[in-house]
Structure 1
């Protein structure tokens, strides 16, 4: 026992409560009562135990022992009822404890065992009614002659872990007394649990604990209880808290090494294990602080030692990883945290929960979702005279916390048992977590001065698996630059159509001749090998000719969008060092005078005919030579020029052809709808032209019109279409949707693709869908995912995965220290291999920041690119895109992923497309605005209430958008991506404004009056969010109690949380009044007519 002041010195009345008298709940009991009210019927607080008994057994003696135990321990005959001033505890007179007796002796042994297990499970999963006695139930199952199963279930509100030992010890003694006639010899109880609860509530007691309470208020201020763990399943709106376990053993040798390290730093083995467990959670979540609960018995006075009741106090331990600590430093932090927490453990933390809750929720673990504890190694056995008693494995199927790590000493080391929510995690995820705890322990015990973020996390088997996933091989063919492969097609199929744009087309022979003409003219204009040459052209035949001709000349093409502002154009020219630009006479005037212009005639087909028989000496091209420079937007607003080599482009072209099965034996029709200023279209351009296929450059006026697009596809059947999901969704809204889809492959890329879009496409066409991902810095694409109809990933991911690496590409999921992360854990995607570009033109510092040495590659000089994209690896090895690293926003005190809100909105049947924007208006709070494009059948006025209800049912209050804005279409950039900057600002007075609204009905007036009084306010707006006004759970209970009394109806607590405004609560009251009136009418009619007579 700890040397602390007695906790009951100030009790005014030291006598137990009289039966039927109302008394206080302890703070811990009050919190459990509130949670039970918020989630009626939950069984997460059930404590179930079962035992097998063999031998001569006296069932009557067991009944007498149970009755005597309940008579002796007041907690076992206490019920909890609601009153106007909050919950009250009522102690009932001693009464027989119901003992259910079931005889299965007539069944075959296997059938009896199965039936017994079913009975035990049913009992464990049956909720307790806290207002009914007893909160203890017992069952005795007879299996055969002298063989029984005894189960004892209680609610946590009257029993804790320590109580288990007391219960079994006293029940054993009482049974033996009644069975044999011997004295039970139980120690006298100095007090009952009700006296403990009264003492805990006393002013004098709170004064004595003022220092402890102040400590915890300071420690828990600003706490973030959520550890963002990698979930295998999305949390349900109503959690089931289903439970399962995973187990691993730590060998004695490892435990001894850990003990030595702990001893050297003045710590314990428990503290070392805690530091390792916290490290894994930190590495999984990326959070610099993790919060873990650690139970303590809470019995700081010897007088409570033999009491049954809920004394347990879970200490909230915040572990900081700030400053990049070594394991030794972390161990020191854990040591101080644990010692301080236990020094102040007398304070009941439950009374602080309501003060610290920011959203009024009553989740089962308001201050933490993860717990670690050393299992009690003291004997807690049930012993009945003349029998052998064996404890059975728990049949409980619920757990209160997301994760609970149980540590038990055994003769050959330590056993770690992870109790986890199986409605959130798969078994292999739990097993991996335990393996990572062991890996961290092994590394820390070997080198405690190593920084925790550098401790290896992956096991050897996991490292081999990642290597296998990245062993995609290189391109099967020897290196050949794409322009040489295109030229080869001119020799192989000279008369085949190479490019089509509207009514114009070029054969391969014409394309080659026109490109050769450009290649011959460039050196005459001063272009040397490797020099950048601008392509200032619209999407056209001329643009393809220019690109091929520039590469033939040994130069690098640089797309320059004709619609770019003159200042932006001049900046690109200057940054890339362009002195020569290929354009047409019509566009020439827009170029600055200092550049040399090479113009392409209006009739390049005739130009090609004149040049067809004039050869050009191709310069020798190496893999390191630059193929093109592509400018992409930068986070600072200054575009970056990505330098892509011929080796990069050749590898991508061959890899994507291999992934789709493209060959020159049967030419395919490829279509692109993208601007040539981006590399989205390269998926169609180069695979088409290097395989003898036909490239269709879909004109802009056709690309945005579903009917015209479908008509074009009918006239020119397409095999491969590359398009962004946003663009595709817009097109598929039309009646001619099926007609514009390709025959073989639909390649979507450039942004996340929803499963809803996939399902829509699959309902229209048998074409295969390829989700394509890759930043420009890794040459067009790095990964792909083939979407099969039965893809198991549909159940795992919010959006379509980005898949696995292309041949020649390697993908790593890394933390901020470039350490590899395991399956399921979010991290930054870094890409290595043959697609990694050379860097940024004239941006050496930025190049050094994003293009790093690849520490995982076997070849010398290998590099990898840090994408800045958040991903996780699925158990199949496929990668899931989760957003940008900088896509997290903090609003209303919480971190929010905008993509999560968008995914929920997108799942509604009325929503065709949506986007959520975060803004910080000047002199106003930050806000979330949701923009939706509704399907044609949706009615604007009716859709918005449905969408608000949909969001409210699936998102916490702090994630709800301030406004819902309906648009005819989402603004897209020239490349088909969402243009966030072009989203309109919500109008003044939009939903979410804080204007005061008067009550509109008598019920609203009553509700507003009661809530204003509880909140000590003059008035409350009908539309105000009460949670944001400081409404807490206990205040809600009091307000609802008053309302129930004044309005004559019982209002469930859940009504407040489902609609936290006066208006919504009043509507719930009116609905309950109507239901009550209907019930009264039915009773009256029944009395009037009486029973029918035959």
Structure 2
């Protein structure tokens, strides 16, 4: 049995107080080296640095108050690639909004963050209704902003901000209620980039195909870790998985990050051998890879190293599995990433022994600063680090149940909350349920995540109609209403109508019973 010091994964000593602002860390490529491939051309690092400096100067003129929030709601392009770094340099706080969200979620994020400026594509701005944009928040079209930035004669030099200054708020769904904003400092993001670039062994010769949304920490880090290493980023908003294959070939991609549902789709395609051989590095997060999927990826991309990873927005990245262990330990979460300490704490509040189940607790400088303007939920998740921690301070108590084997490898056991994970998205059941009830067609609703081979979990709705609402009428109208109010990844796979909802002994809706009942019904249908 190991003692506390041996049972803590601490891949690096506590971060030095000499950590730097974000823009100092991620723009160090050689002047003439490719940095960013856009639709209308490629920026080298000299051009990237120049454009970041000009955008930062424009932002500082538009929002002169340090710490003001600027939100972006646009597809991948120059704006969404440069804004995270330019806003940090200007002393502002960037609030990236997932392009897939609809007006209700965007309205909440704008109001909650107190954003003073929203930059978005005109088509997205046109979907916002009366009251969706709060007083004090200006809106500008993406093309208009980029034209003004191009005409800007100013240039803002590297930031002198305290590295612990807030630099971004990333909104993530909670298991209850609306999305909550996770506060990230310069240090959080800069050390996150350094951590990933370190264990992935990124180099200046690498070219990363950025297919994940930049509104997610995993997606945003595609930019930062690649630029820290002096490599090149190729952003891609793909329509079909086949677009990914074409982009890998066209741009000589070496690094691809994805979530399990996309990996499933990619492994079903016919990859030319020479195209598959271009990939040297595959990374996965947003859900666990199955043993079968690991085998398919290893067979399809034999030249690539596969990095399964585990993370949560509240602490960025916690663990990764060494590619050398993937074949022999395909279900493991691996060990702590650099700059992170991961402890397994049992129900007695002590460091768990070998193979004893406990809660994963993340300590160290990757831990975010809490939830924006939400002291109550911050206190629930961000609590003092266990006594065994080498870092101390505040830790993220994940709510995830894990165990550590005798060899030090971690294994996922289960989640304690009701979060639905579908296609790499963390989805709040309550957010869906609130939208259903708000239509006036339902008196009660329960959103469930049931196992699905392609999505990880598929959303199933159990609904009791409102008084006076005919089932047939509601059955046709509810999906139409939800398509207007919820993004595509929150749409239910199926809606199950009930005249009455089952309750548990404590009087609450019996979610577990409903999930088991529907799962059993689906299993019978599959067998038939």
**Cα 1:587/1:462, change in 2 over 3 Å:** same
SS at match of 2:412: strand
Which residue is 1:784 aligned to?
320
Do structure 1's residue 757 and structure 2's residue 293 form an aligned pair? Answer: yes
Cα 1:848–1:737 shift into 2, 3 Å: farther
CA contact (8 A) 1:475 1:807 kept: no
Question: What SS class does the counterpart of residue 464 from structure 1 fall into?
Answer: coil
Whether the 8 Å contact between 1:475 and 1:655 is mirrored in structure 2 is: no
Distance in structure 2 (CA, Å) of the matches to 1:737 and 1:773: 30
Structure 1 CA distance for aligned equivalents of residues 227 and 456 of structure 2: 36
Which residue matches 2:107?
570
Give the SS at the match of 1:842. coil
Deviation at 1:639, TM superposition (A): 0.6
Distance 1:515 1:678 in 2: 21
- Is this contact kept in 2: 1:584–1:601, CA < 8 A? yes
Distance 1:986 1:737 in 2: 43
**1:626 corresponds to which residue?**
166
Q: CA deviation at 1:506?
A: 2.4
> What is the SS of the residue equivalent to 1:771?
strand
2:248 pairs with one of 703, 713, 723: 713
Structure 1 residue 715 displacement after superposition:
1.4
Tell whether 2:402 aligns with 1:871: yes
Equivalent residues in 2 for 1:445-484, closer than 5 Å: 461-467=2-8, 469-474=9-14, 478-484=18-24
Equivalent residue number for residue 257 of structure 2: 722
Alignment partner of 1:546 out of 83, 86, 101: 83
Which residue matches 1:639?
179
Question: Is 2:45 the counterpart of 1:508?
Answer: yes
Higher relative contact order (CA 8 A, sep 6+): 2
Aligned partners of 1:614, 1:558: CA distance in 2, in Å? 24
The TM-score with structure 1 as length reference comes to 0.38
* Cα separation, 2, equivalents of 1:470 and 1:756: 31
Taking a change above 3 Å as real, the CA distance of residues 495 and 582 of structure 1, as seen in their structure-2 partners, is: farther
In structure 1, what is the equivalent of residue 95 of structure 2? Answer: 558
Evaluate the alpha carbon distance shift between residue 520 and residue 812 of structure 1 in structure 2; reply closer, same or farther with a 3 A threshold: same
Give, in whole Å, the separation in 2 of the partners of 1:813 and 1:866: 10
Deviations 1:375-403 (A, max 9, x none): xxxxxxxxxxxxxxxxxxxxxxxxxxxxx
Task: Decide whether the 8 Å contact of 1:670 with 1:695 is kept in 2.
Answer: yes
Structure 1 residues 464, 508: closer, same or farther in 2, change over 3 A?
Answer: closer
Does the 8 Å contact 1:828/1:885 carry over to 2? no
Cα displacement string for residues 164-191 of structure 1 (whole angstroms, at most 9, x for unaligned residues): xxxxxxxxxxxxxxxxxxxxxxxxxxxx
- 8 Å Cα contact 2:363-2:391 kept in structure 1: no
1:524 deviates by 2.4
- Alpha-carbon distance in structure 1 between the residues aligned to 2:200 and 2:73: 31
- Partner SS, residue 218 of structure 2: coil
CA, structure 1 residues 922+567, in 2 after alignment: closer, same or farther (shift >3 Å)? closer
User: How many angstroms apart in 1 are the aligned matches of 2:304 and 2:249?
Assistant: 15
Give, in whole Å, the separation in 1 of the partners of 2:403 and 2:417.
16
Structure 1 CA distance, aligned partners of 2:344 and 2:297? 30
Give the equivalent residue in structure 1 for 2:34: 497
2:213 to 675, 680, 687: 675
Query: Per-residue CA shift, 1:920-965, capped at 9, x if unaligned?
Result: 7769xxxxxxxxxxxxxxxxxxxxxxxxxxxxxxxxxxxxxxxxxx
How far off its partner does 1:919 sit?
Answer: 7.5
Structure-2 separation of matches of 1:627 and 1:503: 29
Partners of 1:786 and 1:549 lie apart in 2 by 34
Q: How does 1:521-532 map to 2 (within 5 A)?
A: 521-532=58-69
Cα offsets for 1:681-729 (capped at 9, x unmatched) = 133110112222111111222xx332x3222211111111110011111
Relative distance call for 1:635 and 1:741 in structure 2 (3 A) is farther
RMSD: 3.6
Q: Counterpart in 2 of 1:801? A: 332
Q: Describe the superposition over 1:119-144 as per-residue Cα deviations: whole angstroms up to 9, x where unpaired.
A: xxxxxxxxxxxxxxxxxxxxxxxxxx
Change (3 A) 1:741 1:623: farther
Distance change (3 Å), C-alpha of 1:647 and 1:842: same
Distance in 2, matches of 1:720 and 1:476, equals 29
Alpha-carbon distance change, 596 to 921 in structure 1, aligned in 2, over 3 angstroms: closer
Q: Does 1:595 align with 2:117?
A: no
Question: How far apart are 1:640 and its partner, in Å?
Answer: 0.6
Residue of structure 2 equivalent to 1:849: 380
Structure 1, residues 481-530: CA drift from partner, whole Å, max 9, x if none? Answer: 231233443xxx22322112445432223222222222112232234222
**Counterpart contact for 2:14–2:391, Cα < 8 Å:** no
Gaps of 5+ in 2: 421-447, 466-485, 499-528
Paired position in structure 2 for 1:655: 195
Q: Structure 1 CA distance, aligned partners of 2:44 and 2:146?
A: 12
- Name whichever structure is richer in helix by fraction: 1
Q: How does 1:109-148 map to 2 (within 5 A)?
A: none
Aligned to 1:329: none
Going from structure 1 to structure 2, the CA distance change for 1:499 and 1:668 (only over 3 Å counts) comes to: same
1:500/1:694 contact within 8 Å kept: yes
Query: Relative to 1, partners in 2 of residues 1:740 and 1:678: Cα closer, same or farther, differing over 3 Å?
Result: farther
Residue 731 of structure 1: how far off its partner (Å): 2.0
Kindly provide the CA deviation profile for residues 994-1042 of structure 1, in whole angstroms up to 9, marking residues without a partner as x.
Answer: xxxxxxxxxxxxxxxxxxxxxxxxxxxxxxxxxxxxxxxxxxxxxxxxx
The Cα of 1:537 is off from its aligned counterpart by: 1.9
Structure 1 residue 563 displacement after superposition: 4.1
SS in 2 for 1:534: strand
Deviations 1:210-230 (A, max 9, x none): xxxxxxxxxxxxxxxxxxxxx
Deviation at 1:793, TM superposition (A): 2.2
How many residues align? The count is: 448
**Distance change (3 Å), C-alpha of 1:987 and 1:570:** closer
Q: Distance in 2 between matches of 1:725 and 1:516?
A: 37
* Residue in structure 2 matching 1:767, options 288, 304, 310: 304
3-state SS in 2 of match to 1:823? coil
C-alpha distance in 2 between matches for 1:497 and 1:604: 21
Instruction: Name the structure 1 match of 2:361.
Output: 830
Q: Which protein is bigger by CA-based radius of gyration?
A: 1
